[in-house]
Structure 1
């Protein structure tokens, strides 16, 4: 029953759906070659999913954990570079009217935010948040002297971490006010219902 739900469910991921269909075809007595033709998969792929299902059942159809490369930069480093990108270069005594990605990467290294980063990484981070620091007249500049500490607290809470420990399943994060982080002048906007 659960296998059919996986194979034909509307909310099932495509890759799990195809894997479940391979197993259902096999249960009907079809050969690997026949299943490969019907599903459009390679013969080796059909063998793999049949074998994984035979060994582990339904959990065998899920992707295995991959090690991969760990993140090179912390969320705090990304936030600091984004904050730097939103400041005028003249404030850092850099003779530019606006930051270029290579100059911003060099400035981040000079300030000790990161030991090294590529210009393409710098270009990618503001683009992820739709930041346009070159439009400096319409942007909020982060000038709070405690920005690093406050940003670290907030970013840790986003990852469900408090003082270096993971939060439990019964612990919740409720965001009541981050105006000190976002609006260092103390100005706040009232919330409306």
Structure 2
């Protein structure tokens, strides 16, 4: 079906298609219609290939525009009480939130944005919730620059999803500089209506470093505590693993790229113990090592609110917690394939690139 645009329609479609960081659904629909108009007679499949979308998407918005013109590109109204806020006001809230900042702050609040756009604070809050906008939140992220990122992801994930026979897979890492902390005043117990309260200041009594190996299949953990975290301590931990794992099994070890894992002494030890095979995660990709998930549980359930007057007391608490864990271990089950992970990362990179962030 050929698409012929008026000057006003083309001007509006161009404006929507150039939206820099918001209303990307409308921007894509506008680009589809513009492409259909500019490539008169071109099949939907060709336009879809040029825009990197499906043929059905092109067909849907070509037909919607042909039937309802510009109005056909907007989302259809939902059933319920008639709206008191028009589309233009909703668009202004969204574009102001995403594309500007207030003069006196780094991000908008519902109160400041309501004053800016002339709506109530609750109306701004409802619009934000409807579109998943949370200006008060900021997450951190880091994209690995490892030149072997793809190969390492496929190697480690393949190990998780299809472990080799007659072998054990261990996720290994060290949690260094665990502080033995004691509050300067006793922790006040929880009461009805009042949470437990601890003084904001504390006294340090030293640090300990935990080496841990999480068994992929059973969920059990082999742990070893040391005063420092050098290659010497890592070699001792490898020797511990060598004693703990039955001699007739190969040992596949997933670990990060720390320099202490690659010293000449470690390489010599590995050469003398060929059943140990190391699988390195990409740099800046600790999320790929399942023992990090276990470290998170150790921190939130034991260390974060624990009080210890000495390193000896801290180490005993950690050993007891590991023993309790191993009495009823819960293995973590990896479900995503390497292709799904790489596709997700590529999709996210495309999104932030299209938004020009």
| TM-score bracket relative to the smaller structure | 0.3 to 0.5
- TM-score normalised by structure 2 residue count: 0.19
Of the two, which has the highest radius of gyration?
2
Structure having the larger proportion of residues in strand? 2
- TM-score, normalising length from structure 1? 0.34
Bigger RCO (CA 8 Å, 6+ sep): 2
